Amino acid sequence: MSWQENYAVWQKQPTMLPDVRRELDAMAGDNQALEAAFSAPMSFGTAGMRGVMGPGIGQMNVYTVRQATEGVARYLDTLDDATKQRGVAISFDSRYHSTEFAHEAARVLGAHQIPSFVFDDLRPTPELSFAVRHLHTAMGIMITASHNPKQYNGYKIYGPDGGQMPPKASDMITKFVRSATDVFAIQVADEQALRQAKLLHIIGEDVDQPYLQNVTSVTINHDLISKVGKTMKLIYTPLHGTGKVIGERALRKAGFENFTMVPQQAIADPEFPTVDFPNPEFPEAFDMAIALGKQEGADLLVATDPDADRLGAAVRQPDGEYQLLTGNQIASILLAYILKARKAAGDLPVDGRVVKSIVSTELATKIAAAYGVEMKNVLTGFKFIAEQIHQYETNHDHTFLFGFEESYGYLIKPFVRDKDAIQSTVLLAEVAADYKQRGMTLYDGIEELYATYGYYAEKTTFEEFQGVDGSAQRAKLMSEFRENAPHDFAGTGIDAVEDFQTSVKTAADGTTTAIDLPQSNVLKYWLHDGTWICIRPSGTEPKVKFYIGTSDQTAAAANQRLSKYEQALKAYVASIN
């Protein structure tokens, strides 16, 4: 159907909810907005769905949430009754409509006689992952758009291990979602009737307490925290999101007492009024924390995104200014501390393994190797790290020590199976305390790592493709890289190309080896000087992302090399666009 036909179907609905009707009426005459909203259904994949809120088959609204949940329910209907009756845990963030979407999901599940366990208020994504495991539910649903701007919302699905749904199950759910073509015919149960029938349960503190108790296992040196952690000054901002519910409690329970939350950003506000982008990757997200940090002389600033799965940090320098750390730097210093502390305590397992995404820093690989620990590389998406943890526990062949992605996501202990900024906040505070007792900062610690292992520099850039043609444009760009393959970057030859779509690694001499990872539309180039360049379409945003990682003997040389390849990559993309 054309967008005009889809729009006409929505216009004619006599029982449309009043709020949606008002928004739909307001779009009348705006053909560009109508085309974007009604041309194609929302993409639903292994990461669920995410998009701008508003009426239409291509936006986040009550009806597309019902459609997604109908797909989940139909999938659960194919399983045995005992599994189905384990139900679904549901959480949500501080965004507009998040509470409504969570309860609508429960009503659709209830119409299929599937129990749901809905949090009484907003909670972080990692706590939803924990809740799935703690309550032994069959699945989990998280209503969140993570770090996207305020216009967005999203719907993430989790499997019984607490990790995001693996591709096979997700593909089945996607087919069921697509089969629910009439979004207005999806049955929803009355919420009060579901409560009385014990098909909808409200959860909260009964999950908070065991989650927080597990978080206490993340810290390693309790004597250090009792000596230094009580006096070290920390500023924490949840950026108007879910971290405010649990982050403060986690820090206090771990023994950190001298911290302050940024008061204006400790308000769960869907407008995100103090930031354009509630993303700890962006320097401007730290503006208020830096101002408060200077006022209070804070050693460490920590920010978590609205669903508290990503963490960013900044540390005070001798001149009183604050230096932001990259996700790769935070991961590297956390890893180095974990391995050093566990070796000192005599409990570093011989079968230990660290897991990272293929676009994350190779500094971590060097650190792990120095402690005799193996590094496992997986595709981007924390579900792939969760899969590795599940395999290790099933096969008893490795012990998980740490997992991370360069995009500010880290997991220390696997009682959660997604990136967890609450765990990371607590451990990073301990690492900062460790350096403080040595008269150093976290940034000094990063420099210490560079002096030991070499200076590493990484950067992520992107090309954005909005609108109804965005998906086709992204596909075309990836095709151009394959059909008109570069022979070098900035004059440096390519040693090997990894094409994860064909699962083949091709060396410069033409020899090939198989890539033992799931197929994905990703290309990675390894250059003569050890630099790597990776290209992949984002799974959650209308972007193609470009990653560069390099190293050298000095920071200046590494950054100069990084800049050279960034310019060469931009020039190549411009030439094929």
**Which amino acid, residue 461?**
T
Of 277, 214, 265, 211, the closest CA to residue 240 belongs to 265
Phi, psi values for residue 275, rounded to 5°: -140, 140
Residue pair 123/117 in contact by the 8 Å Cβ criterion: no
Tokens coding 192: 């009060």
226 an active-site residue? no
* Helical ranges in 277-420 per DSSP H: 287-296, 327-344, 363-370, 382-395
Which of 146, 170, 357, 424 is labelled catalytic?
A: 146
* 409 vs 404: CA distance, rounded Å: 6
Q: How far apart are CA 288 and CA 377, in angstroms?
A: 36
- Give the strand pairing for 200-203 and 116-119: parallel
Q: Which H helix or E strand runs over 36? A: helix 31-38
Q: Which of 384, 413, 386 is nearest to 401 (CA)?
A: 413
> How far apart, in whole angstroms, are the C-alpha atoms of residue 195 and residue 199?
6
**Per-residue exposure over 263-298, b if at least 16 CB sit within 10 Å of its own CB, e if not:** eebbebbbebebbebbbbbbeebbebbbebbeeeeb
Residue 423 host element (H or E): helix 421-437
Closest CA to 315 of 302, 332, 328, 331: 302
Give the angle 250-254-259 at the CA atoms, nearest 5°: 70
- Catalytic site residues? 146
